[in-house]
Amino acid sequence: MGIILILAPISMALGLAGLGAFWWTLRSGQYDDPAGDAARILIDDTDNRIS
């Protein structure tokens, strides 16, 4: 029984963390341009710092 009192808050905290993370992604506009974000990863950086 005692284990529930430990595990329940932990699972709640994890759930809240997930909800908070979702809230952050929503606020920072990560769903505003799905097509653009998918394409953006293909763009090469022009300043090649290694060479």
Partner 1 sequence: MALTYDLARAPDLSAFLRKDKDGSASLDLLVKGARCAACMSKIESAVTALPDVAAARLNLTEGRLSVRFTSPRGDAARVVAALDKLGYPATPFDPAKAAQAHDQESRRLILALAVAGFGAGNAMMFSVPVWAGLFGQELGPATRSIMLWLSAIVATPCAIYAGLPFFESAWRSLKAGKANMDVPISVGVILTLFISFVETFLNGRDAYFDAAVSLLFLLLIGRWLDHRLRARARSAAADLLALQAPAATVLGLDGLERVKPLSEVAVGERILVRPGERIPVDGFVEDGVSELDNALLTGETAPVDVRPGDTCRAGAVNLTGQLRILAIAKSEDSAVAAIARLVEAGAQNKSLYVRLADKAASVYVPVIHSVAALTFFGGLAFGLGPREALLRAVALLIITCPCALGLAVPAVQITASARLFRKGVLVKSGAALERLSEVDHVVFDKTGVLTEGRSRLIEAPAEALALAAPLARASAHPLARALAAEAGPGPRATEVVETAGQGVEGLVEGRSARLGRASFVGLEGVRGGETELWFAIQGETPIRFRFSDQLRADAAATVAELRALGLGVEILSGDLEGPVARAAQTLHIDHWRSGQSPQDKAAVIDALTAEGRKVLMVGDGLNDTAALAKAHAAMAPGAALDASQNAADLVFSGEALGAVADSIRVARAARSRALENFGFSALYNLGAIPLAMLGFVNPLIAALAMSGSSLVVTLNALRMHGAGKA
Footprint of partner 1 (CB under 8 A): 1, 4, 8, 11-12, 15-16, 18-19, 22-23, 26, 31-36, 39-43, 46
- The nearest distance, CB 49 to partner 1, in angstroms, is 17
Number of residues in the chain = 51
DSSP code, position 29: T
Q: In angstroms, what CA-CA distances link 27 with 1, 9, 15, 30, 31?
A: 39, 26, 18, 8, 9
Least distance from partner 1 to the Cβ atom of residue 6, Å: 13
For residue 50, the minimal CB distance to partner 1 (Å) is 20
